[in-house]
Chains A and B, each alone.
Chain A
Amino acid sequence: MRPLTLGRLFLRCGILAIILFFVVVIALKLGAVQVSLYGLGRDLIRVLLHQSSGISTDYGMIVVDIRLPRILLAIVVGASLSVAGTSFQALLRNPLADPYVLGISSGAAVGSILALMIESQFSLSPEFSGLITPFGAFIGAAVTIAAVYFLGRREGQIDSSTLLLGGIITASFLSAVIMFLMSTLAAGNLRGASYWMMGSLSSLPPTSLLYFLGIGFLVAAGAIYTTASDLNLLLAGEKEAMHLGVDVPRVRMVVYLAASILTGLAVSVSGAIGYVGLLVPHAMRMIFGSDHRMLLPASALGGAIALVIADTLARTVVAPSELPVGAVTALVGAPFFIYLLRRRLS
């Protein structure tokens, strides 16, 4: 018998965290411009000791101003998408669920397009406009979350299959709206929108936004984690879960809202990066089993690792050009998905 204990949880998460650390170091080293490990280590220590003025600008700007924020963004976005994916798979009782199945990414895209339109009308300064697109995207995501919630209810409570249907319909409708907007409006700045929709981590968000994302992730993922035991039981069946002591309506509501917020935050900043939210939960399940007390933190760390790796590939494989990171996750993710499918069928 091998129940999960706190000690075992920390040990496994510790191993994943160490792997993440090494991946981050490698990611900091690789890039279009060569950086030595020694210089890297020295400068990172200087940063932590708050002596950043001592860093030579060669490494300083590239590593600390360009690569490090990008890697931190990849960590937060990867963790958010994976935790959201795990949660939706449990909530909808569907192993094919990913964070975008309920239309949140389409809503965010519509929000960002509208924000771009407004911004081009009013010609805002670039500093402000850096925040308006994520803000618009998040508003779009929030509206979609509310709309799908109301569509997905039955007898006043969230119902899994109704929620899934409502989300799919909303996603299709919003995709049509996006096509309409992009074909009828002046194409000028909307070019940015299509790059956004492919998913990209290169936008160098301001520090305040990174903080906001990080805190948002901790709060939302923490809320989901408090229901981890309940989710284990929910997967056995809703009626059974109720009879085993789970407050099913409350758990569904908490998980739906928190997972949607995680997705909305991630998508607002980086666009719709695919496959991470779908496949990292499955990979972690194959390694650690489907106990959500282990699976949720493992997905968070695994998602961070996966996205940092994907982003590093995206910016080094065809340097100095860049692939959109969504393309890398798709190219790697699709074969892995096929492999998973075959395993299930065998």
Chain B
Amino acid sequence: MSSPLRTPQSSSANLSPDQPRGNPDVRLSVEQASYVYAPNPSQAPLFTLEALSFQAKAGEIVAILGPNASGKSTLLKLISGALEPLSGHVFLNGFATHALAPKIRAQRIALVQQESRLLFPSHVSEFVLQGRHAHGRGLRFESEDDITIAKNALAQVGALHLIDRWMDKISGGEKQRVILARALAQQPILLLLDEPTLHLDIGAQVDLLDSLRRLAAENRYTVLVVTHELNLTGEYADQVVLLQKGKCLRVGSPASVFQRDLLEHVFQAPLSVEMTSSGRPRVTLFSNK
């Protein structure tokens, strides 16, 4: 259970009633999953995420793209298992994510959120070791393996030099890397990131996406990134899920999704799309005159 590579056969406790099914290459399968937010059943729903489907493989980077209030965070919660789909399913290696016990789920899915609000000052090493919590019994003390894995995780994001610092004394970009390291320490198979580039400098943004691409390739992660950054998506994503107002408008490679009419309609801004020599689309925005 502590090896970095994960195959379906090494998963323990089968908690979903379903048997693993479908194409063995497909790791994440969203099948007609939908959700509705309503304060109580009798009132009109506040927000609806309509049924959508897509699949993702190991080593793939998927971008969930759309403007604000398009349902990206809701979709992420469905995939992470925090919410149960109103209809349809979300399967990770054949197991429904919501049905998994929190500990098993944390062994497979890691979520990187933006700001971490710490109540009491925390050490970077303690923080990253939190990622190992899912891999042991209830009350445990960290083993040598845990420490090694945590150090590796920090090394993989280039933050090993921060290991003896305090969380409230490092910069925003450094904190972001440490948070990512904690997620990596979980040794997940699915890595979810919610608007990770929001508070980063441009250079840091590129660094992050480069790291993600490298990690996805090396460790065979499936990476899902929620974002509204068009060019980063175009450059780094293998697959794009385009959302607008709770509806999935298109799923496919960036080249197929980045059509000018479609993007202008979704983002309500004049733009133009051109293809680069590497086959990646690049978007240019104009002013609204």
Q: Which residue of A lies closest to B139 (CB)?
A: A226
For the complex, give the distance between the alpha carbons of A233 and B102 in Å.
13
How many residues on the B side are at the interface (Cβ–Cβ under 8 A)? 40
For residue A253, give the distance in angstroms from its CB to the closest CB of chain B. Answer: 14
For the complex, give the distance between the alpha carbons of A231 and B239 in Å.
38
Residue from B106, B118, B119, B182 with most neighbouring chain A CB atoms (10 Å): B119
Residue from B82, B109, B139 with most neighbouring chain A CB atoms (10 Å): B139
Q: Which residues of B contact A (CB under 8 A)?
A: 80, 82, 101-103, 105-107, 109-111, 113, 116-123, 125-127, 129-131, 133-134, 138-142, 146-147, 151, 163-164, 182, 186
List residues of chain A with CB within 8 A of the CB of B120. 95, 235, 285, 290
Contact with B along A72-87 (1 / 0, CB 8 A): 0000000000000000
For the complex, give the distance between the alpha carbons of A2 and B164 in Å.
9
Check A244 for interface membership: any CB of B closer than 8 A: yes
Q: Which residues of A contact B (CB under 8 A)?
A: 1-6, 9, 93, 95, 225-230, 232-233, 235-237, 239-240, 242-248, 285, 289-291, 293
For the complex, give the distance between the alpha carbons of A232 and B113 in Å.
18
For the complex, give the distance between the alpha carbons of A285 and B119 in Å.
12
For the complex, give the distance between the alpha carbons of A244 and B129 in Å.
11
For the complex, give the distance between the alpha carbons of A2 and B142 in Å.
10
A3:B129 contact, CB within 8 angstroms:
yes
B110:A293 contact, CB within 8 angstroms:
no
B142:A3 contact, CB within 8 angstroms:
yes
With A226-B139, A245-B102, A245-B107 known as contacts, the answer to whether A239 contacts B82 (CB < 8 A) is yes
With A237-B117, A239-B82, A245-B105 known as contacts, the answer to whether A6 contacts B133 (CB < 8 A) is no
For the complex, give the distance between the alpha carbons of A93 and B119 in Å.
7
* Given A243-B82, A244-B106, A290-B121, 15 further pairs, Cβ under 8 A: A1-B163, A3-B125, A4-B141, A226-B138, A228-B139, A229-B139, A233-B133, A236-B122, A237-B116, A237-B117, A243-B106, A243-B109, A245-B106, A247-B103, A293-B139
With A237-B116, A242-B82, A243-B82 known as contacts, the answer to whether A225 contacts B141 (CB < 8 A) is no
List residues of chain A with CB within 8 A of the CB of B105. 243, 245
A230:B138 contact, CB within 8 angstroms:
yes
For the complex, give the distance between the alpha carbons of A140 and B122 in Å.
39
For the complex, give the distance between the alpha carbons of A235 and B101 in Å.
21
For the complex, give the distance between the alpha carbons of A228 and B138 in Å.
8
For residue B279, give the distance in angstroms from its CB to the closest CB of chain A. Answer: 35
For the complex, give the distance between the alpha carbons of A225 and B106 in Å.
22
With A3-B147, A4-B141, A245-B102 known as contacts, the answer to whether A95 contacts B119 (CB < 8 A) is yes
For the complex, give the distance between the alpha carbons of A293 and B140 in Å.
9
A5:B141 contact, CB within 8 angstroms:
yes
List residues of chain B with CB within 8 A of the CB of A226. 138-139
List residues of chain A with CB within 8 A of the CB of B133. 229-230, 233, 244-246
Q: Which residue of B lies closest to A90 (CB)?
A: B119
21 contacts between A and B (CB under 8 A): A2-B125, A3-B142, A3-B146, A95-B119, A95-B120, A225-B139, A226-B139, A228-B139, A229-B138, A236-B117, A237-B116, A240-B113, A243-B82, A243-B110, A244-B106, A244-B130, A244-B131, A245-B107, A245-B134, A247-B101, A248-B102
For residue B175, give the distance in angstroms from its CB to the closest CB of chain A. Answer: 12
For the complex, give the distance between the alpha carbons of A245 and B105 in Å.
7
List residues of chain A with CB within 8 A of the CB of B146. 3
List residues of chain B with CB within 8 A of the CB of A285. 120
List residues of chain B with CB within 8 A of the CB of A2. 123, 125
For the complex, give the distance between the alpha carbons of A4 and B125 in Å.
11
Residue from B101, B122, B127, B141 with most neighbouring chain A CB atoms (10 Å): B141
For the complex, give the distance between the alpha carbons of A17 and B129 in Å.
29
List residues of chain A with CB within 8 A of the CB of B82. 239, 242-243
For the complex, give the distance between the alpha carbons of A5 and B123 in Å.
16
For the complex, give the distance between the alpha carbons of A229 and B129 in Å.
11
For the complex, give the distance between the alpha carbons of A226 and B136 in Å.
13
